[in-house]
Structure 1
Amino acid sequence: MMSDKTWDEDILGYLKNLSNWGRWGDDDRLGTLNLITKDVRIAAARTVRDGTAVSLSCNLDPQSSDPREHGTLIQRYMQLNEIEAIFGQSGRFDAVREYVGIIAHGTVTHLDGLGHFSWDGKSYNGFDASEVRTVGGSTRLSVHHASGGIITRGVLLDIPALLGLPWLEPGHAVSPDELKAAERRQGVIVGAGDALFVYTGNYAREAAEGRHPAGHAAGLSAATLPFLRERDVALLGVDGQPEVSPAESRTFDFRMPIHTVSLVAMGLWLLDNAALDELAQTCQAKNKWEFLLSLLPWRMVGATSDAVNPVAVF
C-alpha cells in the first residue's frame, strides 16, 4: 500500500488534472450529465430485449431494523379521516394523507448532487461554496438541475464474480485493473455517458455475516478516478459508499477522495448505497451486463441530494 503522502499527492493531482471545470461552459450545473445526449439515450433504449425491470433501491421503512432501509432519518406521520377533515363530514369513502421527511445523505439509496461537496471553498465548476450551500438551500448546484432525468445505458461490473468470490471482503479496494478485467470477462466496455455500477457484494456479505464492527467495507480505490474520467462516465453507483473503508489515506482531508474528486472536480454525479444484489444476479442469469437505466430525481430546488428508486430495464 502506498504511503499517506503518496495518496495525498495523487488525489491533489486528480483534483487538478481530472477537472471538467469550464468544459461545458462557465455556468454549467449538469457536469457529466451533459454526456447523456439524445443519441446516448436512443442507443440505451436499444439495449432493451425482454422488458425485465429491476429496482436498484433499498426500501424506505422507518420501522425496519435494517439501517439501509430506515436511513439516517425518515419521518412519517399519517393523518387519518382525510375526507372528514376536508369536508367536515364522513361518508362511505375515506382517504389518508401523510407527511414524510427524509435526510437523504445517509444509508438510504440516494443521488448525490454536485452541491454536496466542496474543496478549499469551491464547488464544481468554480462556484463559491458559500453560494452553493446556504441554510436556505443550494443556490447554484442542486438536484433539480437534473430535471430531464438520468436515462442512459447502465453497465454493471461484477468484481466478486471476476475474482471467483461471493463478495469482496471489507477493506478491499477495487483497482482500475480489476475494472478493466471485469470488462474483458463480461464482454462490455464502459463508454461516454454510461452509468457505471460497481458490484462489491457489500450488502450480501452483511446479510450473511453482519456489519463489520468498525464499519469497514469494500469500495473503490482512489486510483480508479482516472478510469472514470477517461471513460467519461456520467453516473457512478456502488452498493455502499464508493470509497473503500478503512480509507487509503489517514489524512482527514483525503478520507473521501471519490466523493471529493468526482463531485467537485469532475462534476460526476454519484448514487450511494445502491441495491445491486438482484441486478448482479439478473445480469449473471442473462449473461447481459448492459441495460437501460431510468433514474428520475424529484425537482427539489435547492436540494443537494434525493432519495431515488433507479430502475434497470433489460
Structure 2
Amino acid sequence: MPPHGVPPALSEADFRSFYDRLREQGPPGPGDRPGALRHLTPERVVAAAAGVREGRTVSLAAPVQTESAPDNAQPASHRITAPGPGEADAPGLHFARDRFAMNVHGDVDSHLDALCHVMFDGELYGGVPANTVTPDGAGALTLDLVKDGIVGRGVLLDVPRLRGVPWLEPGDQVTAADLVAAETAQHVRAGPGDLLFVRVGHRLRRRSLGAWDTARARAGLHPAAVELLAERRVAVLGSDGNNDAAPSAVAEVPFPVHVLAVNALGMHLLDYLDLDPLASECERLGRRHFLCVVAPLRLPAATGSPVNPIAVL
C-alpha cells in the first residue's frame, strides 16, 4: 500500500450520484465560453498578466517520446524526410523536412483533452450525443473550442512537497484535503478561472526509477476532489500524471476524474505534463502562481492535441 494510504473507494451508485450532482451545474447559456472556461473571463486574463514579475518562461511539457516503453506501447514517430542522399552537400538551396505522428491520448506524452474526448452513458458534456464522434472527426465540443488558446492564472500545488517525499507512489490518491493543505502550506489558493496544476511527482519517479505500466498503477486525484474544483470554479486541470489514479477508486469506472471533470463539468484536462522545472522555479521565487499560456494545435475536428503549456513568471 502507498505510504500515505488510499482514500475510501466509491461504489458505482455513489459515483453516479456524485456525477449527477456535478452535472446539474449544466452547460453555459448561449454566447458563453463552453464548460468551465466560462469562469476564465477577460478581466481575469488581464489580472493574470499583471502578475508577471521576472519575464521568465518555463515549459510545462515533457519531451515527446519516440521509444517504446512499458508506458508507451505506441510511441510517437518522428523522422527527417529531407534532405535526401547527397542533397546536404550539394550546391544550391535545399530544405530539411520532418514527418511526425502521435497517439495523442497515450500514457507518456503531454496533451490536452478536448471536451469531446470523454463519453459516458452515450453522451458527451452537456448531453451531446456521443455518436457525433466518428472516424472522420468529432462533430461537436472539439479542439476548435480552444483554437484561440487558453491564457490565465496558473496555480501549482505540489503534493509531494506537502508530504515531504520526492513523489507519490503509484496507486496513491490526492484528496480535496490534500489540495487544501497544499494551498495553506504553499501560500496560494485556487479560485475562479484558474488553471490548476497538481504535481504528484510522476515525471521525477519515471526519470529516477524508469518507466512502468501506468495503466495498472499511477498516482492521481481521488474523484471526490473534483467537487472542490467545481466549488472553486477552476477553469482547467492539469497534472504530471494522468489526473486519474490507478487502480480507480470506482471499480466500474476506470477514469472517474476524466468523467467528472470533462464530461460532467466541461473542464479541459492537461495530462502527463512535466511540472518539475516549474516547481523548482516556484520554490526559488517563493510563489506558486503565474501567467500560463496553453496553445494546442489547430485540429478543428480533433479530440485532443499535443501541447506545450508555458508558465510566465
* Cα offset, 1:249, TM superposition: 2.6
Paired residue type of 1:78:
I
Asked if residue 19 in structure 1 is aligned to residue 23 in structure 2, the reply is yes
Contact residue 22 and residue 28 of structure 1 kept, 8 A: no
Q: Name the CA shift for 1:293/1:310 in 2 (closer, same or farther; >3 Å).
A: same
Asked if residue 171 in structure 1 is aligned to residue 158 in structure 2, the reply is no
Distance in 1 (CA, whole Å) between partners of 2:305 and 2:165 is: 32
Paired residue type of 2:256:
P
What whole-Å deviation, never above 9, does each CA across 1:78-137 have from its counterpart, x for those lacking one? Answer: 33248x99xxxx742211222222221112100000000111111011110011x11100
Alignment of 1:1-16 (within 5 A): 6-16=10-20
* Cα offset, 1:206, TM superposition: 2.3
Equivalent residue for 2:3? none
Equivalent residue for 1:205? 205
Contact residue 199 and residue 276 of structure 1 kept, 8 A: yes
Equivalent residue for 2:299? 300
* Cα offset, 1:301, TM superposition: 1.1
Q: Across the two proteins, how many residue pairs are aligned to each other?
A: 303
* Cα offset, 1:161, TM superposition: 1.0
Which segments of 5 or more consecutive residues in structure 1 lack a partner in the other structure? none
Distance in 1 (CA, whole Å) between partners of 2:162 and 2:226 is: 20
Equivalent residue for 1:104? 104
TM-score, normalised on structure 2?
0.89
More helix as a share of residues: 1
Asked if residue 76 in structure 1 is aligned to residue 75 in structure 2, the reply is no
Paired residue type of 2:273:
A
Alignment of 1:141-180 (within 5 A): 141-180=141-180
Asked if residue 56 in structure 1 is aligned to residue 60 in structure 2, the reply is yes
TM-score, normalised on structure 1?
0.89
Asked if residue 264 in structure 1 is aligned to residue 263 in structure 2, the reply is yes
Asked if residue 140 in structure 1 is aligned to residue 144 in structure 2, the reply is no
Greater Cα offset, 90-99 or 181-190 = 90-99
Alignment of 1:230-309 (within 5 A): 230-251=231-252, 254-309=253-308
Distance in 2 (CA, whole Å) between partners of 1:248 and 1:22 is: 25
What whole-Å deviation, never above 9, does each CA across 1:48-78 have from its counterpart, x for those lacking one? Answer: 100111101111242x46677x783422343
Paired residue type of 2:228:
F
Distance in 2 (CA, whole Å) between partners of 1:225 and 1:268 is: 10
Distance in 2 (CA, whole Å) between partners of 1:281 and 1:118 is: 36
Contact residue 15 and residue 250 of structure 2 kept, 8 A: no
Distance in 2 (CA, whole Å) between partners of 1:289 and 1:192 is: 16
Q: Name the CA shift for 1:209/1:58 in 2 (closer, same or farther; >3 Å).
A: same
* Cα offset, 1:181, TM superposition: 0.6
Equivalent residue for 1:36? 40
Contact residue 21 and residue 125 of structure 1 kept, 8 A: no
Distance in 1 (CA, whole Å) between partners of 2:167 and 2:26 is: 39
* Cα offset, 1:182, TM superposition: 0.6
Paired residue type of 1:276:
L
Distance in 1 (CA, whole Å) between partners of 2:221 and 2:308 is: 23
Greater Cα offset, 238-247 or 289-298 = 238-247
Distance in 2 (CA, whole Å) between partners of 1:257 and 1:293 is: 26
Equivalent residue for 2:190? 190
Greater Cα offset, 210-219 or 292-301 = 210-219
What whole-Å deviation, never above 9, does each CA across 1:219-250 have from its counterpart, x for those lacking one? Answer: 11011010011011111111111111222232
Distance in 1 (CA, whole Å) between partners of 2:33 and 2:297 is: 16
Distance in 2 (CA, whole Å) between partners of 1:143 and 1:184 is: 35
Distance in 2 (CA, whole Å) between partners of 1:207 and 1:91 is: 43
Which segments of 5 or more consecutive residues in structure 2 lack a partner in the other structure? 1-5
Paired residue type of 1:74:
A
Q: Name the CA shift for 1:301/1:47 in 2 (closer, same or farther; >3 Å).
A: same
Distance in 2 (CA, whole Å) between partners of 1:3 and 1:167 is: 21
Q: Name the CA shift for 1:185/1:235 in 2 (closer, same or farther; >3 Å).
A: same
Distance in 2 (CA, whole Å) between partners of 1:188 and 1:308 is: 25
Distance in 1 (CA, whole Å) between partners of 2:247 and 2:22 is: 24
